[in-house]
Chain A
């Protein structure tokens, strides 16, 4: 493995407690509880989708994918042929496209209560504190994780365990063809977290390899520009790792 790439797990420890069991990287995303992913700018919905499918590892059951009809028209529908390259993309997929937000929230809650569903992913235009609290309670009671993919104007209070803001980044250099896009890269900013509040505001630069299905934290990518067409330059001037065990 490239020495600059650090596995994304086991990275995060609370400050001052070097030996303490810290939170593992996606902070329970797609494993338990409700997590929000928001677009950094309009058009980052595919990056959100990729991050959700790469970080979540459903243990059993199908994925219930709830997409509000307007979202499906704007950002398309998840494609199983493309999702097989992600750990969560191999689970059977049940798609529901409600028109209204109320219907979408109702569908999400029904899905959380079903024993056949291992993960609920929802593209919704927004959800207020009460709605997220309700979903968090349902998720906690039935042990089914929920990932909400939300538009870039998502702000305000939430009862979700974390909110991430995800943006697309220029892809990793392609070893076989310098002119072709390489591995997908995203920048994930942890805006708020209940599990690891000391990490709020932290920036994770992520690199996803769809051959080994591994999500890794890349250091230095965001500090310097990734100049993919000049392979010599980018490699030399990488900034020191921004994220290290403190």
Chain B
């Protein structure tokens, strides 16, 4: 048959399409999970009444999928296993429905292949003459597991059967966490313009904030989904540094991003979800600044940070959190602003002076003239030669030895451990490299060569050049500390 064209199945594209469909299914239920490589699982508890009952919901779902030309079979039952068996075993697009507690009777006539078993297990069951699910009910479990070659396979069959009958629970693993609060706005006419979308968003925000305030909660993230009538969904998400439920503030955060919603051929459902909810700190604002515990209005600062994050991207606002460490870059660790401010570091009398600006990473400098165990006399930094006029130091900062207790990266591990041992069948070049590496390591151990990659002590100096610029430089390592070559110099900070 020359006109038949064959193509390989594209599993990845299928997965992407299934994930996109799952995202769109959120309009029916917030809890959507993938079921194998060709199924979706929706938890309909509490959602069916929005569509006029389970039957109407399944019918609407089926109709929509038909309209999009997606072949499907729908099963609806009290357990995920039973629903899956109905969809896969009954044939036809359904919807097939089974009332709560009727699983045993309803599934009895179905083929065992509906139980989501491995092909081997199915073959074995067929050889035993067990083709219907109902035949499994009466079989003695011990006898069943004795017939299988491996215990795991027998357990899998029993597990799937118990899950379908509701004897064992089967938790859903939803693609996205279900929101604690959400508001939905179906549109009688598909929306085609951005104005309509922002209008709908305003209504939704007010609805959601009313819900949140009923429970005394606020949310730190909001997700807005616009479901298009052609079965696709586009969404935007904003987040806040601390729980909020002020509609004006939330709308302002969305304002920067609402343009990303593309109405396409029309939007027929808008959905706003509140995520990461938590109790709101509803304390009265101090009337006088003197009465306030801190003189920074954290709520107003969080609102500012939210606006900046909405425009510049998540985590754009940073704070520097002091930490207990002598290593300067560890003592001042940067973190995203999360609604609280760190304490101002106390000026430490034990440590030496700290520069006003710290470079992102120490920059190497070339020392032209130096005295042993002293600061450089002349050096080149950023291609300019500078002469040191005055210097102060050193302040020695020893490495934190407890951080380097792990395996040294060059240590004689790996290599030989991952390979079995020399084998003539493997390629000879790899063997030669392995032998060479082992030999070198043994030689180094004999000669007492320095172990590399151990952290080295730093000697910090405060130096001033002729122009009056003041630098914070350090020498990494000492002569003869047995931890690498000669010491290196770096600029780490700049004094005012």
Is the pair B357, A98 in contact by a Cβ cutoff of 8 Å?
no
Nearest chain A residue, comparing its CB with the CB of B384 = A43
Q: How far is the CB of A199 from chain B (nearest CB, A)?
A: 23
Q: Cβ of B467 < 8 Å from any Cβ of A?
A: yes
Chain B residue numbers with a CB within 8 Å of A197 are: none
Nearest chain A residue, comparing its CB with the CB of B382 = A43
| Known pairs A60-B296, A75-B357; A228 contacts B389 (CB<8 A) | yes
Is the pair A116, B301 in contact by a Cβ cutoff of 8 Å?
yes
| Known pairs A77-B357, A78-B356, A181-B470; A94 contacts B298 (CB<8 A) | no
Is the pair A181, B360 in contact by a Cβ cutoff of 8 Å?
no
Cα–Cα distance between A12 and B467 once the two chains are bound (Å): 28
Q: Cβ of B17 < 8 Å from any Cβ of A?
A: no
Nearest chain A residue, comparing its CB with the CB of B381 = A43
Q: Cβ of A121 < 8 Å from any Cβ of B?
A: no
Is the pair A103, B496 in contact by a Cβ cutoff of 8 Å?
no
Q: Cβ of A164 < 8 Å from any Cβ of B?
A: no
Nearest chain A residue, comparing its CB with the CB of B343 = A92
Chain B residue numbers with a CB within 8 Å of A177 are: 392
Is the pair B392, A62 in contact by a Cβ cutoff of 8 Å?
no
Q: Cβ of B379 < 8 Å from any Cβ of A?
A: no
| Stretch with Cβ within 8 A of A (4 or more), from B44-52, B275-283, B306-314 | B306-314
| Stretch with Cβ within 8 A of A (4 or more), from B217-225, B318-326, B430-438, B440-448 | B318-326
Cα–Cα distance between A170 and B358 once the two chains are bound (Å): 21
Complex interface residues of chain B between 356 and 413 (CB less than 8 A to chain A): 356-360, 389-392
Q: Cβ of B181 < 8 Å from any Cβ of A?
A: no
Is the pair B494, A45 in contact by a Cβ cutoff of 8 Å?
yes
Q: Cβ of A51 < 8 Å from any Cβ of B?
A: yes
Is the pair A180, B462 in contact by a Cβ cutoff of 8 Å?
yes
Chain B residue numbers with a CB within 8 Å of A239 are: none
Is the pair B389, A229 in contact by a Cβ cutoff of 8 Å?
yes
Complex interface residues of chain B between 18 and 60 (CB less than 8 A to chain A): none
Is the pair A43, B300 in contact by a Cβ cutoff of 8 Å?
no
Q: How far is the CB of B14 from chain A (nearest CB, A)?
A: 38
Complex interface residues of chain B between 334 and 348 (CB less than 8 A to chain A): 334, 337, 341-342, 344-348
Chain B residue numbers with a CB within 8 Å of A117 are: 301, 304
Partner of B496, one of A46, A62, A111, A228: A46
Is the pair A61, B295 in contact by a Cβ cutoff of 8 Å?
yes
| Known pairs A96-B316, A181-B464, A184-B496; A84 contacts B392 (CB<8 A) | no
Is the pair B495, A60 in contact by a Cβ cutoff of 8 Å?
no
Is the pair B289, A60 in contact by a Cβ cutoff of 8 Å?
yes
Cα–Cα distance between A53 and B495 once the two chains are bound (Å): 13
Is the pair A80, B301 in contact by a Cβ cutoff of 8 Å?
no
Q: Cβ of B264 < 8 Å from any Cβ of A?
A: no
Is the pair A80, B345 in contact by a Cβ cutoff of 8 Å?
yes
Partner of B301, one of A54, A94, A95, A167: A94
Chain B residue numbers with a CB within 8 Å of A97 are: 316, 318
Chain A residue numbers with a CB within 8 Å of B390 are: 171, 174, 179-181, 228-229
Nearest chain B residue, comparing its CB with the CB of A169 = B468
| Proximity bits, A62-93, B CB within 8 Å = 1, else 0 | 10100000001101111111111110001111
| Known pairs A61-B295, A84-B345; A93 contacts B320 (CB<8 A) | yes
Q: Main SS of the interface on chain A?
A: mixed
Complex interface residues of chain A between 178 and 217 (CB less than 8 A to chain B): 179-181, 184-186, 208
Chain A residue numbers with a CB within 8 Å of B470 are: 46, 168, 171, 181, 184
Partner of B319, one of A73, A84, A95, A98: A95
Is the pair A76, B358 in contact by a Cβ cutoff of 8 Å?
yes
| Proximity bits, A35-49, B CB within 8 Å = 1, else 0 | 000000101111101
Q: Cβ of B145 < 8 Å from any Cβ of A?
A: no
Q: How far is the CB of A44 from chain B (nearest CB, A)?
A: 8
Cα–Cα distance between A180 and B395 once the two chains are bound (Å): 13
- Of A51, A53, A81, most buried by chain B (CB within 10 Å of CB) is A81
Q: How far is the CB of A192 from chain B (nearest CB, A)?
A: 24
Is the pair B389, A98 in contact by a Cβ cutoff of 8 Å?
no
Chain A residue numbers with a CB within 8 Å of B102 are: none
Q: Cβ of B211 < 8 Å from any Cβ of A?
A: no
Cα–Cα distance between A116 and B346 once the two chains are bound (Å): 23
Partner of A79, one of B317, B464, B493: B493
Cα–Cα distance between A46 and B472 once the two chains are bound (Å): 12
Is the pair A170, B468 in contact by a Cβ cutoff of 8 Å?
yes
Is the pair A96, B496 in contact by a Cβ cutoff of 8 Å?
no
Q: Cβ of B469 < 8 Å from any Cβ of A?
A: yes
- Of A62, A167, A179, A208, most buried by chain B (CB within 10 Å of CB) is A62
B residues with CB within 8 A of A: 289, 295-301, 303-305, 307-308, 311-312, 316-320, 322, 328, 331-332, 334, 337, 341-342, 344-348, 353-360, 389-392, 462-464, 466-470, 493-496
A residues with CB within 8 A of B: 41, 43-47, 49-51, 53-54, 60-62, 64, 72-73, 75-86, 90-98, 103, 106-107, 110-111, 114-117, 167-171, 174, 177, 179-181, 184-186, 208, 228-229
Besides the known contacts A46-B469, A62-B301, 19 further A-B residue pairs in the complex with CB atoms under 8 A apart? A41-B467, A46-B355, A64-B304, A77-B358, A79-B356, A80-B320, A81-B322, A84-B344, A94-B337, A96-B312, A96-B317, A111-B304, A114-B300, A114-B303, A168-B467, A168-B468, A180-B462, A181-B392, A181-B464
